[in-house]
Amino acid sequence: MSARAEKRNSAKTNERARGRVLLITDDSQTPFVEAITARGMTVVGVANGAAAMVSLQRSRPHLVVANPAARNLRIRELARMLAQSDDGIPLVLAGSQPATVEIRHAALLEGAFDYFELPLEFDLLIERTQQLVALRQKIDQLKSDADLDALTGLANRRRFRVALAREVERWRRYRMPCSLLMLDIDHLKRINDQFGHPAGDAVIRQIAQTLKEVSRDNDTAARLGGEEFALLLAGVDVQKAAVAAERLRAVLSSRRVDEVGTVTVSIGVASCPESATSERTLYSASDRALYVSKNSGRDRVSIAPPLQEKLPGV
């Protein structure tokens, strides 16, 4: 791995280790950002109500803190989406209204974890933020231990299926596209037979490491089993996915594995809604595109056609 890639990976790891908070308010000059940073956490965005859903999808915070008076913010809808997400992100409300029992009770009914009056309860808000972020990180760690492939550290098939359902649901609700890249290592059986299974495992781990390097925080890189991998790209349409797939193929084919040499992959690309509108059809479309790549000579990218068309030879 290059020094630049290692530095980028290290930065990603450090950012994920820090608590991530998304702030939804019309006031971008809030002292909340400075206070949270001083506690070792990161404010991953300050968004207004209209941009809340997009910011949430991009930043994947551990906690959302929202001012109920923010323009175009629908608290109940936001709380429901957070509760139904795979991450189960908690929501805390903070505003200028007095923190009466009635106001706090109303916040709980809306789906929030609590309500704080500002600036009177600012210190309490910071303490509650740190507490909920720490709890969310602990839950994430426990889930991660159960959802990771043991050999590569990538998401396993179960976690991938959950992520796929989540991204397709985001398209249904908010018309945000997503794309799926299916990858298959070319001639892995031949590598195992010639160099031994430890060498084959080294190939698998290098493919996985590259997928980690190119993935954004809101993408999902997974090993589905054997030599098959998947990369789920959130908010990416078919044109951008095709470019990303070709770039990924080129990077993988340029890297050498000790005692093996260069290794290539075949890739199939499908996108929602261009070539599919459900989890099952998106998976099937990318799998069929992968089949075309493997049967057309390997070491290439094939794009699933629009819904009304069919792939040649399938």
Q: Tell me the per-residue pLDDT of 28-65, one tens digit each, with 9 for 90 and over.
A: 778 998 999 999 999 988 888 778 777 877 788 999 99
Nearest Cα residue to 51 out of 28, 72, 21, 67: 72
Burial of 8 (0-12, 13-18, 19+ CB in 10 A): middle
Sheet with 91-95: list strands edge to edge: 42-47, 20-24, 63-66, 91-95, 114-117
Distance CA(43)–CA(37), nearest Å, equals: 7
Residues of the chain with CATH 3.40.50.2300: 3-147
Q: Given the DSSP bridges, would you call strands 63-66 and 228-234 parallel, antiparallel or unpaired?
A: unpaired
Q: Of these residues, 110, 117, 213, 227, which one is catalytic?
A: 227
Report, at the CATH architecture level, how domain 157-303 is classified: 2-Layer Sandwich (3.30)
Q: Which of 10-24, 64-78, 213-227, 271-285 has the lowest mean pLDDT?
A: 10-24
Residues of the chain with CATH 3.30.70.270: 157-303
Q: Which pLDDT value is given to residue 55?
A: 81
Respond yes or no: is residue 227 known to be catalytic. yes
Q: How many CB atoms lie within 10 A of CB 156?
A: 17
Distance CA(114)–CA(105), nearest Å, equals: 9
Percentage of residues in the chain with pLDDT exceeding 70?
A: 92
Q: Output 31-36 pairs: Cβ under 8 A, ≥24 positions apart.
A: 31/122, 32/65, 32/122, 32/125, 32/126, 35/122, 35/126, 36/126, 36/129
Report, at the CATH architecture level, how domain 3-147 is classified: 3-Layer(aba) Sandwich (3.40)
The residue ranking higher by pLDDT, 48 or 164, is: 164
Q: Which pLDDT value is given to residue 141?
A: 82
Q: Which pLDDT value is given to residue 276?
A: 95
